[in-house]
Amino acid sequence: MSGSHLDVLISELQIRVRTAELAKQIDDEFGGEPVLLIAVLKGSIHFLSDLGRLMKSDTQLDFLQVSSYHGGKSSTGVVQIRKDLDINIEGLNVLIVEDIVDTGVTLSHLRELLSTRKPKSLKVVALLSKSGSRTVHPPVEYIGFEIPNEFVVGYGLDYAERYRNLPYIAILREE
Ligand code: 5GP
């Protein structure tokens, strides 16, 4: 995108340190029980990959894709399931791995949907949270960083499919 620039908000090192802390906290709280990590595509892939490798619990992976933004910078409020899980989650400890919780609409739908499938437990880890922007308040058990209400990209997060490969989180500003 021309006429825009990136301001680093969270560095690669900060992400690494915080992800290791979260991995340890999650491992401790699951106390050796197996956990199914569900990544919400595509934004959480780098976070899932790093978090998953730092966890010592016995983990399985699955993927879910929803869409609520349709390539723009503000939410439409419509949540569609684009790709459903492969694994039957009944009786499993499930940890939803989210890139960012903004209004909370997407996560609230996801929690509702997955809880109808009777997992043993259902928790959420989100790398980023814009708590000031919530319109609904689904529980988020683990949060990496609280951030201001700005549009961010990097470390999996995109703007029109760009910037996902940045190793840090940056605010995308238009000039
Ligand atoms: P919510 O339903 O909580 O408003 O939004 C959740 C989804 O909106 C996230 O999973 C993400 O895809 C997208 N989103 C929310 N805020 C941002 C942002 O600052 N940057 C990017 N790239 N996506 C965002």
- The pLDDT of residue 76 is 58
Question: 126: Cβ–Cβ under 8 A, 6 or more apart, which residues?
Answer: 98, 99, 100, 101, 107, 140, 142, 143, 144
- The pLDDT of residue 73 is 57
Q: Checking phi first, is residue 22 left (phi over 0); if not, alpha (psi -120 to 50) or beta? A: alpha
Cα(156)–Cα(119) distance, rounded to whole angstroms? Answer: 27
- Is residue 82 within 8 A of residue 99, CB to CB? The reply is no
Residue 83 included in any domain: yes
Q: Whose CA is nearest to atom 15 of ligand 1?
A: 102
Residue 78 included in any domain: yes
Residue 75 CB coordination number (10 Å): 16
- The pLDDT of residue 175 is 78
Identify the bridge partners of residue 169 per DSSP, sorted by sequence position. Answer: 10
Best of 69, 111, 164 for a ligand 1 pocket test (most atoms within 8 Å of beta carbon): 69
- Find where tokens 């419509």 sit: 78
**How many domains are there within the chain?**
1
Q: What is the Cα 127 distance to its own chain's centre? A: 6
Across 12-26, average pLDDT:
98
Residue 75 included in any domain: yes
Residue 159 included in any domain: no
Work out the pLDDT band at 174, boundaries 50, 70, 90.
confident
Residue 5 included in any domain: no
Ligand 1 neighbours by CB, cut-off 6 Å: 43, 68-69, 75, 99-107, 151-153, 157-159
Structural domain that includes position 74: 16-150
Residue 61 included in any domain: yes
Q: Render pLDDT for 71-99 as a digit per residue (tens, 0 to 9).
A: 555 555 667 889 999 999 999 999 999 99
Query: pTM here?
Result: 0.93
The reply to whether 99 belongs to the active site is no
Across 113-119, average pLDDT:
96
Tokens coding 11 = 């560095």
Report the CATH number at residue 112. Answer: 3.40.50.2020
Tokens coding 48 = 């899932």
- Is residue 64 within 8 A of residue 44, CB to CB? The reply is no
- The pLDDT of residue 1 is 47
Residue 171 included in any domain: no
Residue 85 CB coordination number (10 Å): 16
Work out the pLDDT band at 69, boundaries 50, 70, 90.
low
Residue 91 included in any domain: yes
Question: 138: Cβ–Cβ under 8 A, 6 or more apart, which residues?
Answer: 101, 104, 107, 108, 111, 124
Q: 119 C-alpha vs ligand 1 centroid, how far in Å?
A: 25
Q: What is the mean pLDDT of the chain?
A: 93
Best of 10, 76, 98, 100 for a ligand 1 pocket test (most atoms within 8 Å of beta carbon): 100
